[in-house]
Structure 1
Amino acid sequence: MVRLTADLIWKSPHFFNALRERELDLRGNKIPVIENLGATEDQFDTIDLSDNEIVKLENFPNLNRLGTLLLNNNRITRINPNIGEFLPKLHSLVLTNNRLVNLVEIDPLASLSKLQYLSLLDNNITKKPNYRLYVIHKLKSLRVLDFRKIKQKERIEATKLFASEEAEEEAKKESARTFVPGEVPTEEPMEEEPSKPAGPTPEQIIAIKAAIVNSQTLEEVARLEQALRSGQVPADLNIGNTTDTETAKKNDGPTDMEQ
């Protein structure tokens, strides 16, 4: 395990990504706890904390600039109910391959009033009854869930299904009762599991997110969904190659932190 210290933050790669957003790369450090992010001095549009050991999505300082948070391949089981107070402009959150199990566990995300893009792929929560409709109902600002555009008919169906508080509570209870094969209770100790790649890379996430926003036809959306499932991004989808990324890093001048 490695602590997320100010020193680690300062020494980690930071660069302009494919969307020309300033990104901080904290991937693959075996970080167990989110802490000391105040050391970023709120200079980043994107923070990548993928491939770590984070269990709780909490302990953020006020980051008024942060728009995208990448947390694929962690161990997240709990989310701070007041997360929106600290991340007021967060619009994209990727929680692919974590350990969220029951519908009630995503309720805190309702405090993120600007959230438009959310991925919960490869969490057991996605196997619960009425999962997608519940998330659409709970997170009113969402436009894309699990890399699929939310359709108006889905919004109408979600509104009808959860027309009362009683219906919402019953859905939460049903979620807690429903057993999913391979599901591990969150309160019990987790055994170490070999790390495995799940879902697209952060670079692919950025490219697919941009492509979905700009897509004009259902056929194009379907093609992007297939790309997501297969992990193979179409050749015509502009991600930017390694050379471009390295060049961006080299050309990127020192940040205020480094001066």
Structure 2
Amino acid sequence: MGLNMIPVGSAHDEYPAIELLSVTSRIRVQILSRPRSLEGLKAFTELEELIVDNNLLGNDLWLPRLPRLHTLTLNKNQITDIESLLDHLAEVTPSLEYLSLLGNEACPNELVSLDKDEDDYQRYRYFVLHKLPHLKFLDTRKVTRRELEEAQARGAFMKVVKPAYKEDSSDSSCASPLMQYTPLPSGSRDAKSHRGVLAKCRYVYYGKHSEGNRFIRNDQL
């Protein structure tokens, strides 16, 4: 058709344009600008591949229903809420088989944070496969049968829960835990009314050596 640049995204995008490439029967769209929205894709219901790496897409990402989309890469964006994204993809991309989320905070690995390890990443994979059981390839690895079985059995419990930080301007919240105590009032005890206990304990030592020598070790002789 001789059409290479097609507008996509909202009017607030700095460079709202994409490149449309047709390869045999496949339709592939690669985002060249840095949009915050993909609303313009609603005109491409026959999309099969969508590449939106290195953009500004966040948790408010919205996709139209793309029944033929099988490949989606969202690498290096600003996605932090994995559950909302997966629920949305399960609804609008029923044929999705390949998904890549590397470089997003929602994908816990060394590319995002050095304090993440392989266990964190594997739990993430189980959770993703629990939500999208038809995936055949996730990020850089093929989905295995064992992963699918584990995802079906325990994937729902693999969600990473982040602590909620609540700002509190009160002085009590800023105090050190060691300082948060309530001592007894000074008038509740009379210093002269202290009570003590004195008792006697009869002790007899039976042994072959003197009682003093039993406290001396061989290395001290």
Q: TM-score range by the shorter chain?
A: 0.5 to 0.7
Does structure 1 residue 144 correspond to structure 2 residue 124?
no
| Structure 2 counterpart of 1:120 | 101
- Stretches of structure 1 that go unaligned for 5 or more consecutive residues are 1-8, 13-23, 180-259
Report the AA paired with residue 102 of structure 1.
D
**Could you state the TM-score of these two structures normalised by the residue count of structure 2?**
0.53
Identity %: 27
Partner Cα separation in structure 2 for residue 36 and residue 118 of structure 1 = 20
- Stretches of structure 2 that go unaligned for 5 or more consecutive residues are 110-119, 166-221
| Structure 1 counterpart of 2:71 | 92
Where in structure 1 do 4 or more consecutive aligned residues deviate above 6 Å?
33-37
Shift of 1:44: 6.7
**Could you state the TM-score of these two structures normalised by the residue count of structure 1?**
0.46
Report the AA paired with residue 123 of structure 1.
N
Report the AA paired with residue 96 of structure 1.
N
Partner Cα separation in structure 2 for residue 178 and residue 68 of structure 1 = 36
Does structure 1 residue 74 correspond to structure 2 residue 74?
no
Does structure 1 residue 46 correspond to structure 2 residue 28?
yes
**With CA pairs under 8 Å and 6+ residues apart, which has the higher RCO, 1 or 2?**
1
Shift of 1:34: 6.3
- 8 Å contact from structure 1 (residues 35, 60) kept in 2: no
- 8 Å contact from structure 2 (residues 29, 49) kept in 1: yes
Partner Cα separation in structure 2 for residue 156 and residue 150 of structure 1 = 11
Report the AA paired with residue 72 of structure 2.
L
Instruction: Classify 1:55/1:177 alpha carbon distance in 2 versus 1 (closer, same or farther; 3 Å).
Output: farther
- 8 Å contact from structure 2 (residues 102, 139) kept in 1: yes
How many correspondences in the alignment? 141
Report the AA paired with residue 141 of structure 1.
H
- RMSD over aligned Cα atoms: 3.5
Aligned partner (choices 109, 113, 119) of residue 89 of structure 2: 109
- 8 Å contact from structure 1 (residues 144, 150) kept in 2: yes
Larger Rg, first or second structure (1 or 2): 2
Shift of 1:133: 1.0
1:158-211 CA distances to partner (integer Å, 9 max, x unpaired)?
A: 111145xxx47xx26x1x4389xxxxxxxxxxxxxxxxxxxxxxxxxxxxxxxx
- 8 Å contact from structure 1 (residues 69, 94) kept in 2: yes
Partner Cα separation in structure 2 for residue 59 and residue 74 of structure 1 = 15
- 8 Å contact from structure 1 (residues 32, 55) kept in 2: no
